[in-house]
Amino acid sequence: MAENITVERDQQGQPNKGKVFAAVHAHLDDVPYYAGGLCAKLIREGYTGYLIRTSNDEKRGGGTAAENILSNEQEHVKVAAALGFADTFDFYYQNHEMNNISSLDLRARLILLFRMLKVDTVVTFNPWGQLEENPDHWVTGRAVEEACWMAGVETDYPEHMEAGHAPKTVTERYYFYARPGQPYNRVVEIGAHVEKKIDSIVECRAQGGGNEGSLLRARLAKQGKRLPLLGNDDRTADRAYVRQFLLDRYQEFGAEHGLSYAERFFYIDHRPPAKSKVEEYVERNAVSL
Ligand SMILES: [Zn+2]
């Protein structure tokens, strides 16, 4: 892998102004961990971002299924705000059981959103990511991959056109590096965006360890102790805990390339060239009749 890595640096200004991306994850804490830095970077560089969550997260949160659905839903809105997303969508498929849903249903819902939002770029799971144990992840990734090209085909769901949503091919993809051993060809510099990544992770309290710092601070206080690292309030404790204990892998990904923090992705560029082969050939070779 190592010889084909591109390092995507932070860019000045807003080179992506006018472009739209959708980050599609299954669970509250997927995007914050796998791609929080990238999403903050893309938005800073001019992209409009939308955050789509496919599962209902009912299995995580420490409460009943209904309580977990609610806490994850509320925290999802906070995660999106922390990273600068324009809006969130939640599909509420049953958590951990997405390999038994209709992939066509999921795909069709994504196609409608990609057309409606005019999505240029997606950030999601590697659809073929080996070593992936969570069915919600690969089911989501595969449906996104199919929807990316099919959203541009006018004969798929032609009623969308009658509803005013033109075909729209999604041409760029960033697939998460979610498990060790999954492929990646792009390392994204996120040093300038790590505070936002931390802001998004501390909102993941139902799952994702966002409140571990304040919990540890309270536990120590009961024993008559404190850690200077955790400061004097819960928010400071949560942020400090994330920075100290939960970002090691992103520091390691960066260190290999001389960066403070980085995230890894498998990036695919399907943007058409400015001029097609045929156009170029005609330009060079056409003669008068
Ligand atoms: Zn997940």
Sheet strand arrangement including 48-55: 6-8, 186-189, 262-269, 172-176, 121-124, 20-25, 48-55, 87-93
Ligand 1 geometric centre to CA of 31 (Å): 9
CB atoms within 10 A of CB 74: 13
H-run or E-run covering 116:
helix 103-117
Ligand 1 geometric centre to CA of 168 (Å): 27
What are the tokens at 58?
Answer: 């009912």
Tell me whether residue 160 is in a domain: yes
Q: Which of 283, 208, 280 is nearest to 241 (CA)?
A: 208
The reported pTM is 0.95
DSSP characters over 13-46:
S-TTTT-EEEEEESSTTHHHHHHHHHHHHHHHTT
CB atoms within 10 A of CB 24: 27
The rounded distance, in Å, linking the Cα atoms of 289 and 279 is: 18
Whole-number pLDDT of residue 278: 94
Q: How far apart are the first and last CA of the chain?
A: 52
Tell me whether residue 257 is in a domain: no
Tell me whether residue 278 is in a domain: no
Q: How many domains does the chain have?
A: 1
Tell me whether residue 215 is in a domain: no
Tell me whether residue 67 is in a domain: yes
Tell me whether residue 232 is in a domain: no
Identify the domain containing residue 123 by its residue range.
2-190+262-271
Ligand 1 geometric centre to CA of 175 (Å): 14
Ligand 1 geometric centre to CA of 30 (Å): 5
What are the tokens at 267?
Answer: 């990036």
Tell me whether residue 159 is in a domain: yes
Ligand 1 geometric centre to CA of 234 (Å): 25
Residues within 5 Å of ion ligand 1, judged at the Cβ atom: 26-27, 30
Ligand 1 geometric centre to CA of 7 (Å): 25
Domain at 74, CATH number = 3.40.50.10320
CA 47 to chain centre: 14
Ligand 1 geometric centre to CA of 194 (Å): 20
Q: With 0-12 CB in 10 A as exposed, 13-18 as middle and 19+ as buried, what is 248?
A: exposed
Ligand 1 geometric centre to CA of 164 (Å): 33
Tell me whether residue 171 is in a domain: yes
Ligand 1 geometric centre to CA of 26 (Å): 6
Q: Which residues of the chain have pLDDT under 70?
A: 1-3
Whole-number pLDDT of residue 220: 97
